[in-house]
Structure 1
Amino acid sequence: MSVFKRILVVALLISFSSPVSARAPRRAAASSGEEGPEGAGPPYASAIVIEAETGRVLFEDKPHLPRAPASTVKTVLELLVMEMVTEGKVKLTDSITTSAWASKIGGSQVYLKEGETFPLEDLMKAIAIHSSNDACVAVAEHLAGTAEGLVEMMNQRAQELGLRDSHFTNVHGLDDDETAVNVTSAYDLALIARELVKHPKILEWSSKAEDTFRGGTFILSNTNHLVGKFPGLDGLKTGYTRRAGFCLVATAKRGDLRLISVVMGSPSNKVRFAESARLLSRVFSQYKKVPVVREGETLGEVMVSRGKEEKVRLVARAGFSALLRSGQEKAIRRSVTKQADERPAPIRQGEALGTLQVFLGDSLLATVEAVAERDVARMTTWEWIKSWL
């Protein structure tokens, strides 16, 4: 064989032995700014980060994608309980007796026995910290007579909150039965969490790495492994089933800024915590609360006709802090509008006499009432005549 033929054969062998890639070109990074292995999307099915006070969305990736929530659905149960406590319908000291049905619920549990009695607060801690399914059913039966009755209350509350992506079928999140699978979205869970963090007791419980139950004989270990590790994090709820994947509703506060994040459908326990921490860190680094108006801040003056004082100061009824990206402070402007340059006496302290509007560029951020700083009494007829002498 000639030298040329030998070279040709070797070249052909090399070409046939080399793998040919049918993979599409690597796509741009996902909206999260990260992606998984080459060609893959972010390591979750959907995610969102919102600011708790206003509900403003600061990051989103398929936020309305319908998903099974697993145990994160327990945030709805927790919200109903705390609202009923606030309204005085139940007390955290109320005794709850475990039914036969509640004692048979599987999954994460505190192994309630039929006939065992615990205060509502103990069972709420078991739910918030340890994600106990049996405690959920016991609480639901106490509040609504049956777990199914509480599910109806959950769906009603969801409608009141405007949750368009949600329908609930049980109180604990188990989804082995395909006919009874809860459905919600990252966006809806964030709205639920926004209501839930208004109740300090929930954060008191969910921020504990562990607590005790059943007289100290059972340790409640927090399923949220970011507690005590991520600065400012104090909740909120984990969830996992094969159908749902690994989910986490988290909340953290730094300074005046509280964020809520939701990650759904992560492939592993480690990934859901890593992604939640990454998203929260990213948003905390990009945004800050900037005081724009102080409560009681002087905004101007209004002249007073026939008053014992010639004028009264206008002050801000409430303070306002704007959530801004770095460098946006320079685009903030304020505009005060008086109802009138002069008002007749009497004027009462706190009476609205104008408004302060706060803009970011051309976008209106807030309107704050401008009110009278103090009372201004009206002159008597004799006092008014003397004032002209």
Structure 2
Amino acid sequence: MKRIVSFIVMSFLLISVFVPSTLAREEGVDLVENVKSAILIERDTGTVLFEKNSHEQLPPASMTKVMTMLLIMEALDKGKLSMNEKIRTSEYAASMGGSQIFLEPGEEMTTKQMLEGIAIASGNDASVAMAERLAGSEEEFVKLMNKKAKELGLKNTEFKSATGLPGKNDHSTAHDMAIMAKELLKYEEITKFTSVYESYLREDTDKKFWLVNTNKLVRFYPGVDGLKTGFTNEAKYCLTATAEKDGMRVIAVVFGAPTSKERNAQVTKMLDYAFSQYKTHPMFKRNMSLGQVAVSKGEKKRIEALTSEPISLLTKKGEGLEHIKQTVILDKNIKAPVKKGDKVGVLKLEQDGKTLVESPLVAKESSPKASWWTLYKRSMGMFTKAGS
């Protein structure tokens, strides 16, 4: 059983707007060339605006770190990790080759500094150090990566490493990488790292290290603020990019470009297409409260239900929305324990009986099982009220 709270958004609040009955990529649009696969999506709705071989399994190279960063941001959001916590570098982490920030065995950096090393400089050593902190070993962290991929419904992705280094045989697709990026961008703070073009680590020491973003579009394309490049001899030049303009955020993914210049050119084409042809209509920000749920036998009797992601509707430019029905469905029979972030309901946006958006609502905070003494006091309080 569920409790349903419905809100009808009156048309006078959405003047001169209409949602087409269907909105998807246009057939016949040929945006990219000289790449093995590509996809372009709008972040909030996940609508595919363009794709080319988007389900072909290919090596993602360092784009693997999109998932690594996602698990780090999840741990931060759930309070399992803090930005100021010092992370120790093992000998194994320090031994990583390829892109690195040259961590030494035993060296400590904060989570914030490690994230800078991963997001800006694609540090393999920093990625493994964080993997070991979160799961005890890179091997165990990879299990978490694949578990998360399964949760997201990614059927063509399998990780073998936290880094994407050659020889590990990680594989993914443009479609799956876009979904991972969509999930990562729920944590808006990540772009504070991925948008930085240059920075420094160990700035006040004689081992000052200059970080330069491997994603040059953050400097040369207005609105680009992430996310991750990739290159190996096998994978060629890859990029998962995101940009925001006029309230619309899009994600563009390219696998297998022959040069970094070509990679950036093809992503630029996709971004230009999205911003010239489409418009986002924001409806809800992430972490907005849409009601409360009762928690049976919980330490907290009621918990707020929050939006789990930014929620928008998408139209072609010049078109808009009207007669949008919002329905908040809150789970009724929730039993303790409840963890922060657990699903406790659903928000639906509908037009003429068709669901346009269905997004989970999540618990604002945790509610462990109440002690027997707490439950006893509650029951006595109920009896007292009943007898008064």
Normalised TM-score (structure 2): 0.68
- Pair 1:333–1:81, CA change in 2 (3 A): closer
Deviation, 1:365, is: 3.3
Alignment equivalent of 1:33, drawn from 30, 34, 40 = 30
Give the secondary-structure state (helix, strand or coil) at the position aligned to 2:203: coil
> Are the aligned partners of 2:45 and 2:313 in contact in 1 as well (CA < 8 Å)?
no
1:114 is matched by which residue type in structure 2? P
Alignment of 1:1-389 (within 5 A): 33-34=30-31, 42-175=33-166, 177=167, 180-215=168-203, 217-290=208-281, 322-329=313-320, 333-334=322-323, 357-358=350-351, 365=356
Give the secondary-structure state (helix, strand or coil) at the position aligned to 1:156: helix
- Pair 1:114–1:279, CA change in 2 (3 A): same
Deviation, 1:56, is: 1.1
> Are the aligned partners of 2:349 and 2:355 in contact in 1 as well (CA < 8 Å)?
no
Larger gyration radius, structure 1 or structure 2? 1
Aligned length: 285
Alpha carbon RMSD of aligned pairs, Å?
A: 2.7
> Are the aligned partners of 1:58 and 1:283 in contact in 2 as well (CA < 8 Å)?
yes
Other-structure match for 1:350? none
Deviation, 1:356, is: 8.5
Deviation, 1:287, is: 0.5
Aligned mates of 1:88, 1:367 — CA distance in 2 = 27
Aligned mates of 1:291, 1:153 — CA distance in 2 = 32
Q: Which runs of 5+ in 1 are unaligned?
A: 1-29, 36-41, 294-318, 338-354, 369-389
1:120 is matched by which residue type in structure 2? T
Q: Which has the higher contact order (CA 8 A, sep 6+)?
A: 2
Deviation, 1:227, is: 0.6
> Are the aligned partners of 1:334 and 1:356 in contact in 2 as well (CA < 8 Å)?
no
Aligned mates of 2:49, 2:29 — CA distance in 1 = 11
Give the secondary-structure state (helix, strand or coil) at the position aligned to 1:158: helix
Aligned mates of 2:34, 2:319 — CA distance in 1 = 31
1:33 is matched by which residue type in structure 2? D
1:78 is matched by which residue type in structure 2? M
Give the secondary-structure state (helix, strand or coil) at the position aligned to 1:169: coil
Aligned mates of 2:282, 2:261 — CA distance in 1 = 37
Deviation, 1:229, is: 1.6
Give the secondary-structure state (helix, strand or coil) at the position aligned to 1:223: coil
> Are the aligned partners of 2:45 and 2:357 in contact in 1 as well (CA < 8 Å)?
no
- Pair 1:279–1:154, CA change in 2 (3 A): same
Normalised TM-score (structure 1): 0.68
Give the secondary-structure state (helix, strand or coil) at the position aligned to 2:323: strand
Deviation, 1:31, is: 5.3
Q: Which runs of 5+ in 2 are unaligned?
A: 1-26, 285-309, 327-347, 360-388
- Paired-residue identity, %: 40
Q: List 4+ stretches of structure 1 deviating above 4 A.
A: 290-293
Deviation, 1:264, is: 0.7
Aligned mates of 1:278, 1:173 — CA distance in 2 = 26
